[in-house]
Amino acid sequence: MENYIITISRRFASKGHEIAARVGGMLQIPVYDRSEVEARVQSLPTIERTLEEKELREDNARDRCRTDNGGKSLWKGLWHREARDEPRDEAALEFERQSAVIRAMADAGPCIILGRCADQIFENHPRALHVFLYAREEERIRNIMQMLHTGEEEARAMLQNEDRARDAYRKRFSAHPADEVSGRHILMDSGKLGADLCAELLVRTAKDLFINNV
């Protein structure tokens, strides 16, 4: 039987790290966030990253090659030339590397993946629970002020910048970037419920879905 996976997407400053840590502690499974994923990507052998880059360039070039009705390339060998000339799409390469690392993490055992469009990566996984955390803007601003000991104006600017960055990332790599419902099983207002109750509800759900019914 496949391992179970909990993916947690969230609006910035919606207590995602805190809730994920609590759930991981209660279920005794690891939590992997952006820093952990990126650290593992950096540890990949250089030759492996080079081969991945070459393969992606060739795939991109191959996709752009037109074919005639018989399915033969109109420009024989064109994609080979384009593969050599095509500048690397570093963002796409990084996403592919991170996706491979995240899949390896899930293969190793039950886990929680925080962010990184993991709900997209495991969209069709039969034992995945996809969660989205949110809170009112003013609640998130207060969270930032408490966590970073900063003023309201700076916290508001940070919130806006981070929201734009996360929206752009999701728009690039998600199949449903503008819809916070599609692909998610549970949506939680962490401002209303609080971190403790959110964690308790998620643990109860995970146990009912993946542990008690085995």
Give the pLDDT confidence of 156-166 residue by residue, as tens digits: 999 999 999 99
Q: Which domains does the chain have, with CATH numbers?
A: 1-29+111-214 (3.40.50.300), 41-108 (no CATH)
Q: How far apart are CA 37 and CA 114, in angstroms?
A: 10
Edge-to-edge order in the sheet of strand 5-10:
31-32, 111-114, 5-10, 128-134, 186-189
Q: β-pairing, 31-32 with 111-114?
A: parallel
Task: Please check whether residue 111 is in contact with residue 29, taking contact to mean a CB–CB distance below 8 angstroms.
Answer: yes
Question: How much is the pLDDT for 90?
Answer: 85
**Alpha-carbon distances, residue 73 vs 60, 69, 77 (angstroms):** 15, 10, 8
Give the integer Cα–Cα distance in Å for 11 and 17.
Answer: 11
Tens-digit pLDDT string for the chain (214 aa): 689 999 999 999 999 999 999 999 999 999 999 999 999 999 887 545 455 555 555 555 555 454 344 433 332 333 333 334 444 588 899 999 999 999 999 999 999 999 999 999 999 999 999 999 999 999 999 999 999 999 999 999 999 999 999 999 999 998 887 677 889 999 999 999 999 999 999 999 999 999 997 6
pLDDT at residue number 181? 87
pTM of the model: 0.79
CB 208 within 8 A of CB 6: no
- Please, which residues bridge with residue 174 across strands? none
**What pLDDT, on a 0 to 100 scale, did the predictor assign at position 191?**
97
